[in-house]
Structure 1
Amino acid sequence: MDGSIARPRPMLALFLRLATALSLATMSMLVKLAQQRGAHLAELIFWRQAITVALVGGGLLLAGRLATVRTKRFGAHARRALLGLIGMFFVYGAVILLPLAEATTISFTTPMFAVLLSLVLFRERIGLYRWAAVAIGFAGVLIVLQPGGSGAIDPFGAAIGLIAALFVALISLQIQDLNTTESPWSIIFWFTALTAPIAALALPFVATAHDPATWGIILAMALCGALAQVLLTSSLRFGSAATIIVMDYTSLIWATIYGFAIFGRVPPSTLWIGAPLIILAGLVIFYRERQIARRKPAEPVS
């Protein structure tokens, strides 16, 4: 991980993304639990970032590798930090407003937003397969949301979840770009170092006293977040987002288990109809992206 560019290792990337899904699902559960015990959203984000930068910075200092965070792309790190901080408010907000399984399912729309972003930002031509996948995916979202139905979930929370998925797609593109020149530790360090002071500005207005159990939950949440950040950044270093994003779907298993075991909620039947459609859409996009990536090296030769 010391070099700026890593050799593609698809199996390692898939394993790292699988571990990322578990870490993020655990962190989401702890965010929801901490909020129910009185912790404010902004407070959780501050501790998540502050503890991560302390662990990463301190670890690198002790290992004599602090120089690995040097960068000539401070502007790119600042843009990633800005989008990342805004995205965290939406991601955490969706987890707080929605049941875990539903919030996780809506987050699976990230590949659909990635397709739309490739059209808007890169003027990429989107073929029939990917357009069909986007349509199928959002049809699945409508089934999960049950608009007008008796079991309909909070529309505001659903909107927050969809915006969170859009930000995750944007941030994934930024991380992949930074990975071409920066080490994972540099990406994580600058993201947390730039955002923790900003998040701290909200503390005088939202911070409250907590019992030891709540502080333990907040600490565990921050540690899971730090671990997930390392795993996520490393997975994008060893494999493309289009290839490894399929592993993200395993987080629904953990979210469902946590939702039942911790919060006593069984997902409605519509979730098990809509979620496969959203996952199918992501898999179709994954398949088409892989086909396109395989064809690209041959184009200059011809």
Structure 2
Amino acid sequence: MKLHPRSTVAGGTAIAMLALAACAPVEKPDRAPATPAALASCAPGTLTTLSAGKLTIATDDPAYPPWFADNRPDSGQGFESAIAYAVAEKLGYARDQITWTRVPFNDALTPGPKKFDFDINEFSITADRAQAVDFSTPYYEVTQTVIAVKGSKITSAESLADLKQAKLGAQVDSTSYRAITEIVKPETAPAVFKDNDDAKKQLQNGSVDGIVVDLPTAFYMTSAELDGGVLVGQLPQPAGTPEQFGLVLPKGSALTSCLSQAVDVLRADGVLESIQRQWLGGVAGAPRLG
């Protein structure tokens, strides 16, 4: 998945509203959880990072809710900012040992050297991407969701069949786009957008009937960004492993194992679930399109 909300937060109100409801789906590890003792070999003094004793974390610019707050990744506010700091803390890095940098989504996934130790930016783990970069174990399980605006012909859709004649769209090179082509399979070729600013404009001017985004983004966009936004429903998971977000690292990074161990310990300790409840609480209860 990847389709960022592209507008400024009106304070923290919308995020706070999301945090009041039930918990988002909890990710399922694909291996036995690491133990805190296993992290003993992952202390800052033993890790090879871009800057000795420092951890450089990347995300996109702008960075939007509910993943980040006020376009300030260093605030610790928002789901992915909180996850990043929890991982860093588990590895033994204090806040003054963390540096944030900005990297466009697609640039982070290209082969070659990186200007970060890891990037957190709603990166879905896929086999194709794993040929160019490393992923940590997953920290969040994703559901793709169709949204529209009042007046669209799909606002009352209850099934995939109801979307077959719809004009849908999603961000280029995203798993949201793949969900349209592989799960919905509409009769009309989907539209491709460079980012959510473009997607929202085209949705509101009627160029498309709906767009596909991940579920937390769908809740935020329909409640805080779109005039007359409607959450149509969640799409089924693709066959096989559910879609999951992972931290991205350079291919062959010496940090991959340690970051995965940190994520596994956070999962086992219930920290990932707690962070989800705080920042993605409002994503439960959306209708499912069968």
Between Structure 1 and Structure 2, which shows a larger proportion of strand residues?
Answer: 2
The two structures have a TM-score, normalised by structure 2, of: 0.26
The two structures have a TM-score, normalised by structure 1, of: 0.26
Between Structure 1 and Structure 2, which shows a larger proportion of helix residues?
Answer: 1
Q: Which has the higher contact order (CA 8 A, sep 6+)?
A: 1
